[in-house]
Structure 1
Amino acid sequence: MSARDRDWDGVRLHVVTGKGGTGKTTLAAALALALASGGRKVLLVEVEGRQGIAQLFDCPPLPYEERKVAVAPRGGDVYALAVDAEAALLDYLEMFYGMRRAGQALTRFGAVDFAATIAPGMRDVLLTGKATEAVRRRVGADRRRGGGREGSPEPFVYDAVVMDAPPTGRIAQFLNVNAEVAGLARVGPIRNHADKVMETMRSPETMVHFVTLLEEMPTQEAVDGAAEIRDVGLSVGAIMVNMVRDPLFDAASLAAAEAGDLDVESLARGLKAARLEQPEQMARELAAEITDHALRIKVEAGIRERLTRLEQPRYELPYLNDGIDLAGLYALAERLREQGAA
């Protein structure tokens, strides 16, 4: 076990965000498997209503209920929950007011939409509140106490919670909006609830991880998002670089291609010896592709340098030629573990 194996000691809430198309949900699921490995219990929370987690684990759509979806490598369990704002409102009313039946009537009249209109951010506080409640919840605790009293000797229900959060463009607003909601009520359960959410979000137990690709736009969003997260007082975790392809040629060949010094004639002779048709034309086309590949590798090296300047742990996950299935998900989880995500 290396020092990198202890990247997230003490971290209990892992928020995963990234630009659309970077594989954010996939890496959130892989991270949950990596954290659960070795006998731990992890909750994976989805807040966008897309049922992406159910698709990844090849199970029926998730209800508003924590359900076991996978056994992690070397033992350990991954549970999953799809948080719905209306169901979270009912949960909230039951926990703090004992008003579940009244709340059901309110949802029929669109109470959540109404609340979100008069108090921007209310929907988000309901979604984040469910995840932070799961972080604080202890075995045998009365859920009306918000997860159990501080200093309780009872263990936490979950060793860690992973949130598949909204895209990077709105992650700071999503996580910090609870402060705005707290300002609507000076005292009472609503204020206490918002304060508890922000206390968890701003604690050292919470990290916000960014998923990106070795491409300009998602990398810039990750860099900007990390700065925004720090500005609102939250902690930046890892940079997860997804869909990484290894170079196809050695360093000397890449340097020659980048400089335009490929020996096209030798390449054509080799193709001719292999009895391929039109070897000269094929050699020119192949040389152009090698040059494009070399230039892409150079650009990726520059992007890596930019990500290094963030001074956060960085994990690189391979591009899977066969796409993402359960086997691929477990393979990504193992790569995360090998690089320190445990």
Structure 2
Amino acid sequence: MSRLHVVSGKGGTGKTTVAAALALALAAEGKRTLLVEVEGRQGIAQLFETETLPYEERKIAVAPGGGGEVFALAIDAERALLDYLQMFYKLGSAGRALKKLGAIDFATTIAPGLRDVLLTGKACEAVRRKDRLGNFVYDHVVMDAPPTGRITRFLNVNDEVAGLARIGPIHNQAQAVMRVLKSPETAVHMVTLLEEMPVQETVDGIAELRAAKLPVGSVVINMVRPEMLDPAAVDIAANGRRAAVARALSDALAQTGFAGADRAGLVEELVDPLVAQAREHTERVALERLGRTEISGLGLPTYELELLGDGVDLAGLYRMARELRKQGVAR
């Protein structure tokens, strides 16, 4: 099983929510998971209904089933660079002085590749970290990563840094990060919706990851809506059979006690809107089935999470985690 889980997806697909649910699912049965945020949005704190995350690893939840723990870390590029300067150059207070002068912000702005090395490097360090007994501190690290359009470049930090530093500590750090990111320890998961654009971005994103030889994990289809019509009703709606809909509606109203004249008037008033809604539903179902076919063609493990009608609160997050475990994501 992979130990670093990188979660990406088109904006609006719920990748942060899925990353949080995955962290809970992986932490079950006494495991320890670190949930990492790299975009500075504090989305994890909002999901777990806690205060803004500092630049430190903090316990935020107990996982369902066995008392596993979820820790969270919001990685800040400037603070990560200070750690880096202390680790390799022992700058200490001099590094903090550079921050006050704005030099660190300047460095991470003019060299975005360096920023990605720092962000991914912090997560990879957590993957490799061991305690005094030689055991891994975290069983799993889950990264809420940048969206699909930027994920391959973000993870392929070695290419980004090649022109920045060909030798020295920065180069060595990038190489160490890439050894983790391109190893079986890592899996990049894509979150999508059963809609045309998210599915296409998922297909394209996975092709880019494979071309860069980055390890692809699975596809999580989020916010899946139920199919509300049986096959016979789908056929009626798809073919616009107004008379059949009117008959079915009249029979349904008759069972509720509507008299003949009142029933006929109500049927006439409701039948066209119902036919239109049914047709829209069948068109959506057809598009969703096409999306599933495209995703199936990727040859990857696929998991589905239903649409939560009231939005995702903390209870909904635990519900999603249980569903992921039920589908075998943590086995």
Which of structure 1's runs of 4+ aligned residues deviate more than 3 A?
274-277
- Partner AA of 1:56 in structure 2: L
Q: CA deviation at 1:232?
A: 1.1
SS at the partner of 1:156?
coil
Counterpart CA distance in 2 for 1:188 and 1:268 is 76
Q: Give the distance between the partners of 2:313 and 2:252, measured in 1 at CA.
A: 37
Q: Is the 8 A contact 2:236 2:245 kept in 1?
A: no
Aligned length: 321
What is the correspondence of 1:208-247 to structure 2 with a 5 Å cutoff? 208-247=188-227
Residue 247 of structure 2 aligns to which amino acid in structure 1? S
- Is the Cα–Cα contact under 8 Å of residues 28 and 163 in structure 1 kept in the other structure? yes
Tell me how far apart the structure 1 counterparts of residues 112 and 268 of structure 2 sit (CA, whole Å): 64
Deviation at 1:251, TM superposition (A): 1.8
Shift of 1:252: 2.0
**Residue 332 in structure 1 maps to residue 320 in structure 2:** yes
Opposite residue 221 of structure 1, the aligned amino acid is E
Measure how far apart 1:178 and its partner are: 3.3
On the 8 A contact 1:45/1:162 being kept in 2, the answer is yes
Question: Structure 1: how far apart are the matches of 2:120 and 2:102?
Answer: 20
Q: 2:65 aligned with 1:65, yes or no?
A: no
1:294 Cα offset (Å): 1.2
- In structure 2, distance between residues paired with 1:295 and 1:107: 55
Structure 1 residue aligned with 2:180: 200
Point out where structure 1 has 5 or more consecutive residues left out of the alignment: 1-8, 141-152
- 226-235 or 52-61, larger mean C-alpha shift: 226-235
Q: Does 1:302 align with 2:290?
A: yes
2:309 to 308, 317, 321: 321
User: Quick one: which amino acid aligns to residue 246 of structure 2?
Assistant: E
User: Which amino acid counterpart does residue 265 of structure 1 have in structure 2?
Assistant: A
The yes-or-no answer on 1:161 pairing with 2:149 is: no
Is 1:264 matched with 2:245? Answer: yes
Structure 2: distance between partners of 1:268 and 1:311: 43
Q: Which residue of 2 aligns with 1:6?
A: none
Map residues 25-104 of structure 1 onto 2, 5 A cutoff. Answer: 25-74=16-65, 75-104=67-96
Q: Which runs of 5+ in 2 are unaligned?
A: none
Q: 1:121 aligns to what SS in structure 2?
A: helix
Aligned to 1:18: 9
> Secondary structure of 2:156's match?
helix
Q: 1:112 pairs with 88, 98, 104, which one? A: 104
State the TM-score, normalized to the length of structure 2. 0.93
Deviation, structure 1 residue 320: 0.2
Of 116, 131, 135 in structure 1, the residue corresponding to residue 127 of structure 2 is 135
Query: What is the percentage of aligned positions where both structures have the same residue?
Result: 60
- Offset at residue 96 of structure 1 (A): 1.8
1:187-222 deviation line (CA, Å, top 9, x unaligned): 332222111101000101111100000000011111
Q: Secondary structure at the match of 2:71?
A: strand
Q: How far apart are the structure 2 equivalents of 1:70 and 1:20? A: 25
Q: Aligned to 1:317, what secondary structure does the other structure show? A: strand
Larger Rg: 2
Aligned pair 1:312/2:293, yes or no? no
Judge conservation of contact 2:222–2:306 (CA < 8 Å) in 1: yes
SS in structure 1 of the partner of residue 19 of structure 2: helix
Determine the structure 2 residue equivalent to 1:122. 114
Superposed displacement of residue 295, structure 1 = 1.4
Greater Cα shift, 93-102 or 215-224: 93-102
Q: Structure 2 CA distance, aligned partners of 1:73 and 1:117? A: 41
CA contact (8 A) 2:157 2:178 kept: no
**Is structure 2 residue 276 aligned with structure 1 residue 288?**
yes
SS of 1:227 mapped into structure 2: helix
Q: TM-score, normalised by structure 1?
A: 0.90
The CA RMSD over aligned residues, in Å, is 1.5
SS at match of 1:241: strand
Query: Which AA in structure 1 matches 2:323?
Result: R
